[in-house]
Chains A and B, each alone.
Chain A
Amino acid sequence: MTSLAGTGALTRVALRRSRILIAVWLAVFGLMANVSAAATRDLYPTLSSLVQAAETINSSTALVALYGRIYDPSSLGAVSLIKLGGFGAVFVAMLAVVLVVRHTRADEEAGRTELLGATAIGRLAPLASALVLVALTNAALALVTFAALAGAGLPVDGSLAFGVAWAGVGLSFGAIAGVAAQVTTSGRAATSLSSIVLAAVYVLRAVGDAADEGAVGALTWLSPIGWGQQFRPYAGNRWWVLLITLGFTGAVGGIAVAIARRRDVGTGLLPTRPGPPVAAGWLSSPFALAWRLQRAAFVGWAASFLLMGALLGSLVSSVSSFLNNPQARELFMKLGGEKVFEDAFIAAELAFGGIAAGAFGIQAVLRLRAEELGERAAPVLSTAVHRLRWAMSHVAIALGGSVVMLLLLGVGAGAVYALQVHDAGQIPRVMGAALAHVPEAWTLIGITLAAYGVSPRLAMAGWAALGAFVVLGELGPLLNLPQWVMDLSPFTHTPKLPGVPVAVTALAVLLAVALALGGAGLAALRRRDLG
C-alpha cells in the first residue's frame, strides 16, 4: 500500500495543527453534556414531573421535528439529552467537516499538498490522514462524553451509548466531507457542500420523526443524525445501529478514496470552465469585487434562510397539539390562549435565526481576513482604493446581508403560517419580529470587525464570541448564572418577539454597541500594517 505511505506522519502533523481546535470543541461538548444532565435532574426532581415533561415534548409535532423523539419518558438520560442528541449532533458533524476540509482540500488549494506530494508521501495519504484524524477525534469525543455523562450520575451503559452515537455522527460526516473535498476545488466549496448535506439529512430526520411511522417515518433511517438518535441511549441502547453507521462511513469513505485515486492533485471531479476574457462593466469597484466573491455564498445562505423559515412556519400551527396536555392547556389559556403559545414558538425559532444571521455576518467579515492572508488584498490596495473603502465593501455585505437573511426567514415563516391560519396580517408581524434580531447580528459583525481591525490573526474571535454567547444562552438558565453574566450576550437583550412589547431601548443600545465596535475596528485597521 505505497499509496498510503506517510499517513502516520501526516496524521501527527494534522494533530499538531488542530490540537487546540479539537481540545476546545471536545471540552465544550463534554461540558454541555454534563450540565444538561445535571440541570435536568434539578429541573424535574420527581419521576412524574420528568414523564410529564417528556410527554409534553413528544406530543408536539413541532418539537419532535426540531429535536427528535424521547423514546423513554421515564429515563432521565433520554430526557436531558434530547436537544444534544439532535441539535448537538449537528455541531459534532460540523467539527468533523471542519477537520477533514482543513487537512485535505484547503491544504491542496493552498499548494501545501503539492509540496508534500513531492516527498515520499502516498497519493491517498492526505485523505487517509484526515479520516484517521476524524476517527481519533471522535473516539476521544466518545470517551469525553461518556465520562461527562457518567460523572453527572447517569447510567454507565447509556452514557457510553450516547458518546458512541455522537462519535458515529462525526464519523459519517468525516466521510461525507472526504467526498466533498474530492469533488470540489476549494475548501470553501467543500465546506458548503458538506453543510448542505448536513442540513438535508437533518430535515430528513425531522420529517421522519414527525411522521413517526410508515414510509415517511422511515426517512429518519436515511439520516446519519437519525441513526445517532435511533441508537436510543438510555432508552434501550440499540448497539446494532453502530453497524449502520460504520457501514455507511466505510462505503462513503471508499467513494472518497476511489475519487482521490483517479484525480490529479489540485483538480476536482468537474473540470474548471473557462471564464470571460474581459470583465463585465459592473466589475469596477471594490464593492463589486466583494459582491462577486461573496455572491455564491450569499445566495446559498439566502435560500437556506427562506427554506428554514417556511419549514418553521409550517410547524407553528402544530404547536397547539401541545395543548392536548391538560395542565399545559390550562396554563396557556390563563396566559392568553393558543396564540401565546404559537407566538412563543415563533420567537424561540427566530432566536435561532438571530444566531444564524450572526454567523452569516461573521463569515462575510472574515472574507477580509482571507483576502489579506491570501495576499489578494495588496493588489487592490495598491490601486486607488482606500483601505477603509475596501474593508467597508465586505462589511456592507455582512450588514446588509444579515438584514436580508432575517427578512427572508421572517417572510418564509410568516407566509406559510399566514396560509395555515388564514391571516395575512401574520406576514408583516413575523417579519418585524425577525428583524428585531438585526442588532444582535450586527453586534457580532462589530465584534469580528473590531478583532480583525487589530490583527487578522485575532479575527477568529468573532466565531469564539458567537460560540460563547450560544453556550451562555443554553447553559446560563440551567446553571442559574447571575444576570450580569447573561447580560454579556447580545442574545439576552433581544425581546422575544412576537407577542411581547418591543424593547426599543435595548435594541438601540445593541445597535450603538455594534457601531462602536465596528468603528473601533475600522480605526485600528486604518493604523496598522496591511496585506
Chain B
Amino acid sequence: MELAISVHDLVKTFGATRALDRLSLEVRAGEIHGFLGPNGAGKTTTLRILLGLARADSGEARLLGGDPWRDAVALHRRLAYVPGDVALWPNLSGGEVIDLLGRLRGGLDPARRAALIERFELDPTKKGRSYSKGNRQKVALVAALASDVELLLLDEPTAGLDPLMEASFRDCLREERGRGRTVLLSSHILDEVEAVCDRVTIIREGRTVETGALADLRHLTHTHLEAELAGPVPAGLDALAGVHELVVDGRSVRCSVDPEALDEVLRRLSAVGVRSLVNQPPTLEELFLRYYDGSAANAPAP
C-alpha cells in the first residue's frame, strides 16, 4: 500500500511542554483520513511539521515520498493546506487571495474556481477584513480545492461553516476522493468524520492512541442491544463476561455488550425466541469519549 503520509515516533517540545510524544500517523494514498483529538492534542503541531513550518525534535516524517522540511517547496506544489484559523490580508479581496495562493502553488483551474465559489456561495469581492470567520474559511477552502494537487491537509476546516455549507464541503471531499486525491482531515466534529473518512487516527496528549478503519474501530467498543423476547429473559446474562448495564423488565431486556460476548448473548436470547431486536452500533462519539474521558486507564494499550 502506497503511503501519502508516514510519521513515526515524532517528538516536538515547546519549552517544558511535550506537544508531540512519539506520535505515529499513516495515511494511504487515495483515502480520506480523519485525524481526531481534543483541543491541544497536537493535531496542528503535526500538520505544521508536515508543512515544513516547524521541525521535529526527533522521529521520522515522510510526505508524498519526500522530507517535509528539506523538500518543502517541491512538496508544496503537490499539496494544499487550509489552516484552522484562516487569517486574510485585510485589504485584499477574497478573489485576490484565492488567485494569489493558487498561483503561488503553481496554478489553479479557473472553471473549478468559479464552480466552487458558486457552490460555497462566496462573495469574492469582499475585502479580507469584512469577511466573517466562516467566509474566511470558505476563501481558504476554495483556494485549496481549486488547485490541482495530490494531497489536501485540512485543519478543522468546517469550524465556522453553517450546516448547509458543511454538507457541500462533505460532497466536495467525496469528489476529491473520486479524483484520486488524498485528504488528511483534522477535526473533532465526529459525524463529519464518520460521514466521509475511510480511516481515522485518534491522538491524545501528543500520542497516537488508536488508528484504523472506522469499521474496525467499532469492534473496540460496546454494542447496545434492546430485545423483546417470546418468553422470560434467561437468567445468568449478568454473569457473562462482557455484558454491562443489564436491565431486565419481564420479557424485555436492555444491555450493552462487548464485541466478543455478542455471539453468546444473541445465542441465549434466540433460544427463548426474539420478537424484536434493536441493535445500535457504537458511535464514534462513544469511541472518542472512551479515549478522552479523563483517565488513560480507559484506553486499551496501543
Contact = CB atoms under 8 A, between A and B. Distances in A.
User: Binding site of A, secondary structure by majority: helix, strand, loop or mixed?
Assistant: loop
Across the A-B interface, give the 10 residue pairs with the lowest CB-CB distance, nearest first: A275-B93, A279-B99, A383-B104, A274-B125, A529-B54, A382-B81, A284-B103, A279-B96, A277-B95, A375-B87
Nearest to B85: A375
A399 B126 CA distance: 33
A272 interface: yes
Given A278-B99, A385-B104, A531-B53, 11 more contacts: A276-B93, A278-B95, A279-B96, A279-B98, A283-B99, A293-B89, A376-B87, A382-B153, A383-B105, A384-B106, A385-B73
A276 B88 CA distance: 15
Interface residues of A, number: 37
A275 B54 contact: no
Q: A277, A280, A286, A527: which has the most chain B beta carbons within 10 Å?
A: A277
Residue among A274, A284, A293, A383 with most chain B CB within 10 A: A383
Contacts of A293: 89, 91
A378 interface: yes
A312 to B, nearest CB: 33
A186 B127 CA distance: 13
A530 interface: yes
Given A284-B100, A289-B100, A530-B53, A379 B83 contact: yes
Interface of A: 109, 185-186, 266, 272-280, 283-286, 289, 292-293, 374-376, 378-387, 527, 529-531
Contacts of A278: 95-96, 99, 124
16 contacts: A109-B129, A272-B129, A279-B95, A283-B96, A289-B100, A292-B92, A379-B86, A379-B140, A381-B51, A381-B72, A382-B76, A384-B73, A384-B106, A385-B76, A529-B48, A531-B53
B95 A275 contact: yes
A401 B140 CA distance: 32
B70 to A, nearest CB: 11
Nearest to B53: A531
Interface string B11-30: 00000000000000000000
A293 B96 CA distance: 13
Contacts, number: 119
A277 B93 contact: yes
B130 interface: yes
Contact of A272 (B88, B104, B130): B130
A283 B101 CA distance: 10
Interface in B41-92: 48, 51-55, 72-74, 76-77, 79-81, 83, 85-92
Nearest to B12: A529
Contacts of A266: 129
A286 B53 contact: no
A375 B125 CA distance: 22
Contact of B125 (A275, A387, A531): A275
A285 B87 CA distance: 19
A272 B99 contact: no
A527 B54 CA distance: 9
Interface string B96-135: 1111110111100000000000000000111101100000
B69 to A, nearest CB: 10
A68 B236 CA distance: 102
Contacts of B51: 378, 381-382
A185 B90 contact: yes
A380 B100 CA distance: 9
A387 B83 CA distance: 18
Given A276-B95, A376-B87, A529-B53, A384 B124 contact: no
Contacts of A284: 99-100, 103-104
A427 to B, nearest CB: 36
Contacts of A274: 93, 125-127
A374 B48 CA distance: 16
A292 B128 CA distance: 14
A186 B99 contact: no
Q: Which of A186, A272, A285 has the most CB of B within 10 A?
A: A272
B165 to A, nearest CB: 20
Contacts of A185: 90, 129
B129 A384 contact: no
A384 B104 contact: yes
A376 B136 CA distance: 12
Contacts of B79: 382
Contacts of A280: 96
Nearest to B95: A277
B217 to A, nearest CB: 30
A383 B125 CA distance: 23
Most buried by B among A278, A375, A386: A278
Nearest to B83: A378
Contact of B104 (A285, A374, A376, A530): A285
A21 B191 CA distance: 49
Interface in B151-185: 153
Nearest to B48: A531
A387 B68 CA distance: 13
Nearest to B107: A284
B17 to A, nearest CB: 14
Nearest to A371: B89
A340 B287 CA distance: 86
Nearest to B130: A272
Nearest to B143: A379
Nearest to B104: A383
Which among B91, B100, B125 has the greatest number of chain A C-beta atoms within 10 A? B100
Contacts of A530: 53-54
A139 B142 CA distance: 53
Contacts of A289: 89, 100
Nearest to A530: B53
A375 B106 contact: no
Given A275-B93, A277-B124, A279-B99, A378 B104 contact: no
A522 B49 CA distance: 20
